[in-house]
Structure 1
Amino acid sequence: MTEIELNNEYFEWMCQLVCNERYSRRLSYQKLLRHLHNIDFQYMLPMDGNRAEDGIDLRYRFGYEKEYEGSTIASYLDNSPCSVLEMLIALAFRCEEHIMTDPDIGNRMGQWFWNMIVSLGLGSMSDSRFDAAYTDDVISRFMNRKYKRNGEGGLFTVERCKYDMRTVEIWWQMNWYLDSIL
């Protein structure tokens, strides 16, 4: 297997985690997801480095599930910074598996992922409507924390939030968001 083939398999694996009929309503978001995978996740608050590490760990989760050697993952996948897509999917995994897991409801990882996409303002970016420049602006605003105080334009929107979402790490934003919807 070549590096390109493994990278393509990894990308397809990530896509199938969040793109299914339950969440994407028969629309394709391949262009958006590919674009997000080509943008390095950058952060301003030191604790958000944990989100980048989770994104890197996603590569090894893929390797484990697909029975690839760790050395193969290290050589072919773990040779670049965490992408925005990896961070978002890894955060959706953390949300579902560590906080919101409920066997009666089932796996809602895709729900958490798409909620973040919508909060960012990218929900309309299906393949037929994809705009790379707009997406770049949205992701730049997110990573530079130029979104609204309540998180709108960032990953999580919390109506009537008593804190400025721009000043706290992503983990706390997610927890406040989850508290607001329960």
Structure 2
Amino acid sequence: MTKNELNDPYFEWMYRLVVDDRYSNKSYRRLFYKLHDTEFAYTIPMDGNRAEDGIELRYRFGREQGYRDAVIANCLDIRPCSILEMMIALAIRCEEHIMEDPDIGNRTGQWFWSMLVSLGLGSMSDVRFDPVRVDEILDRFMDHDYAPDGKGGLFTIRNPRFDMRSMEIWYQMNCYLNEIIREGSLT
């Protein structure tokens, strides 16, 4: 099996994890390809954990699809974590480790899309895709050149007690979740 033979099913698997019925009338494949082609570069050391989660997503795909770890290592685990992998892995971790509620169902896609919206990419469907604008947004995110409340980053909160730009992504997510829990705006 070659890298290309496995990369396409892996991409489709990731896409299906976070694109559900609410977004099925629009395609976001161009945006997702760009996110998958862009390395997740980080400057806050603990954000390395998010990159590791993104790498582990490849092996989760392998286990779920019946591929041996050696195949994943040789075909997928040959480059750094992408922004798409990091974001999907973070959405999964948010759902499975913090916010899981069997009465509500799986909200992995909800967590992912809230990150896209906070970044400013929520409306970037294929027909509205602007590669120059996406590059600017992703550069701003990775340079922590966004608002202190997180707008332009992965998580925007209304009442920040700390500058979100100086916090690792995990703590940003927890600030976001704490705020929506306090406000009772979970669905």
Q: Smaller-chain TM-score range?
A: over 0.9
Deviation for aligned residue 1:122? 0.3
Instruction: Map Cα deviations across residues 33-53 of structure 1 (whole Å, 9 max, x no partner).
Output: 000000000001000000000
Structure-1 separation of matches of 2:156 and 2:17: 23
Partner of 2:8: 8
Correspondence for 1:79? 78
Q: CA deviation at 1:2?
A: 2.6
1:87-143: CA deviation from partner (whole Å, max 9, x where unpaired): 000000000000000000000000000000000000110000000110010000000
Structure 1 portions without partners, runs of 5+: none
Q: Which amino acid aligns with 2:147?
A: K
Where 2:51 maps in the other structure, the secondary structure is helix
Q: Distance in 2 between matches of 1:97 and 1:152?
A: 25
Equivalence for 2:132: 133
Letter in 2 for 1:99: I
State the aligned residue count.
181
Residue-by-residue CA offset, 1:139-166 (whole Å, 9 max, x unaligned):
0000000000000000000112110000
Runs of 4+ in 1 over 6 A off after TM superposition: none
- Is 2:61 the counterpart of 1:62? yes
CA distance in 2, matches of 1:119, 1:3: 32
Identity rate of aligned residues, in percent?
Answer: 60
Alignment partner of 1:146 is 2:145: yes
Q: CA RMSD in A?
A: 0.7
**1:48 aligned residue:** 47
Which SS does the other structure have where 2:43 is aligned? coil
Residue 5 (structure 1) shift: 1.4
Q: 1: distance between equivalents of 2:159 and 2:176?
A: 11
Give the structure 1 partner of residue 110 of structure 2.
111
Task: Note if 1:173 corresponds to 2:172.
Answer: yes
Tell me the residue number matched to 2:93.
Answer: 94
| SS of the residue 1:40 aligns to | coil
TM-score by length of 1: 0.98
Q: When the two structures are superposed, what TM-score results if normalisation uses the length of structure 2?
A: 0.95
Q: Give distance in 2, aligned partners of 1:72 and 1:106.
A: 32
Q: Aligned equivalents of 1:33 and 1:103: distance in 2?
A: 28
